[in-house]
Structure 1
């Protein structure tokens, strides 16, 4: 595989209530997510600008079941993950691991449970 290619092509966060989940992520990241229905799925997309490609989104369908035990996604919390983390509980989520230092070289991380029951992480340099 070409090392210049990003290994992440797309990600989906399973949700039970697309409106509630969209509001949660828009609140903690101060973003706007576009909603769309396709192939029997309700979707809301995270903003991403690069050659017109999307990075991932929230998906509600019979095949998508929220879980705290599945794959972990680390969202970019730069410049300081405290900003997004400070909004988690007010937006309906729960912090499960507060901000902790990994190392000087790698930075910091924290975990939270979103409104749908998914365990999600944040990472930042500070």
Structure 2
């Protein structure tokens, strides 16, 4: 059977600068903003040698909409998801599900609404 994996993700935003500030604070990282006229992207730092998918924040008035209840749920990997969840509200978001055990051997998860109203999840083994 053929294997399928995620190679890229995009998180829609309505205010790029606000979203860059939010994600920079929550993940303690710097996003690289790319301005392409009416289309904007801000790339998350990514090391392809460490695995996982790369991705970005995206803005385009017609082609992207934020979503708090519908659509896919993106999980970011974390050393301990309580760290990022602890930064969410100060950065302008809202924690929906505090850190909780998924199952023994699977790890922990948490869910938050970002500054744009998107539902985003975290996963950690600790």
Common fold, TM-score beyond 0.5? Answer: yes
Q: Deviations over 1:6-49 (max 9, x none)?
A: 61111100000000001100101000110002374111001112
The separation in 1 between residues aligned to 2:91 and 2:20, in whole angstroms, is 11
1:35 aligns with 2:33: yes
TM-score (norm 1): 0.89
1:110 match:
110
Structure 1, unpaired ranges of 5+: none
Moved over 3 A (4+): none
Alignment of 1:47-86 (within 5 A): 47-50=45-48, 55-62=54-61, 63-68=63-68, 69-78=70-79, 80-86=80-86
CA RMSD in angstroms, aligned pairs only: 1.7
Quick one: distance in 2 between partners of 1:50 and 1:66?
Answer: 27
Other structure's SS at 1:89 match:
helix
Residue segments in structure 2 that go unaligned for 5+ positions in a row? none
Q: How many residues align?
A: 121
Indicate the SS of the match to 2:91.
coil
| Structure with a larger share of its residues in helix | 2
Q: Residue 32 of structure 1: SS of its match in structure 2?
A: coil
